[in-house]
């Protein structure tokens, strides 16, 4: 299933052909230098996707808590994990798994490729939808 992305109005993001190592349909985010270490940055609204660079690796994940709907880009970062600002569940950005008092459904994560200092996100989530069907720790 293809996930619709809001495209750059100028078309500049798709103008140049992507290198062969980049998956077909991947969206160019920009330079690796534009993704600061240890900070979450929202990169798309539909679907809501955020990125976090930790230890030189860029991780892309859905920017919405599956329990409370809060924006994870407004949460706190601790290494490779983001804490929901609404109910304090901690999500690992590499796997999408949660922990904490209210362990929650798995976040969708997206493959990221960095080629020649340019970051690309594949719009097809790597987390299966089936993993999101379970209930959160508080039964919500």
For the chain, the domains span 23-124
Q: Which of 88, 81, 93 is nearest to 103 (CA)?
A: 88
pLDDT tens, 72-126? 999 999 988 999 998 888 999 888 898 877 778 888 999 999 988 889 988 788 7
Rounded to the nearest 5°, which phi and psi values hold at 73?
-65, -15
> Residue 25 region, left (φ>0) first, then alpha (ψ -120 to 50), else beta?
left
Q: Which of 80, 105, 106, 73 is nearest to 94 (CA)?
A: 80
Q: Specify the 3-state DSSP secondary structure of 18.
A: coil
Report whether pLDDT(139) > 80. no
23-124: CATH class: mainly beta
Confidence of residue 7 (pLDDT cuts 50, 70, 90): very low
Q: How far apart are the first and last CA of the chain?
A: 27
pTM higher than the cut 0.85: no
């Amino acid at each position: 299933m293809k996930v619709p992305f809001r495209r750059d109005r100028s078309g500049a993001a798709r103008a140049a052909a992507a290198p062969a190592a980049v998956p077909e349909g991947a969206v160019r985010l920009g330079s690796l230098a534009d993704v600061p270490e240890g900070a979450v940055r929202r990169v798309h609204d539909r679907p809501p996707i955020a990125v976090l660079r930790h230890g030189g690796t860029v991780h892309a994940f859905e920017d919405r808590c599956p329990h409370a709907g809060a924006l994870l880009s407004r949460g706190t970062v601790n290494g490779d994990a983001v804490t929901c600002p609404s109910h304090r569940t901690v999500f690992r950005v590499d796997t999408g798994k949660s922990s904490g008092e209210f362990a929650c459904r798995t976040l969708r994560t997206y493959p990221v490729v960095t080629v020649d200092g340019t970051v690309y996100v594949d719009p097809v989530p790597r987390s299966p939808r089936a993993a999101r069907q379970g209930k959160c720790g508080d039964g919500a």
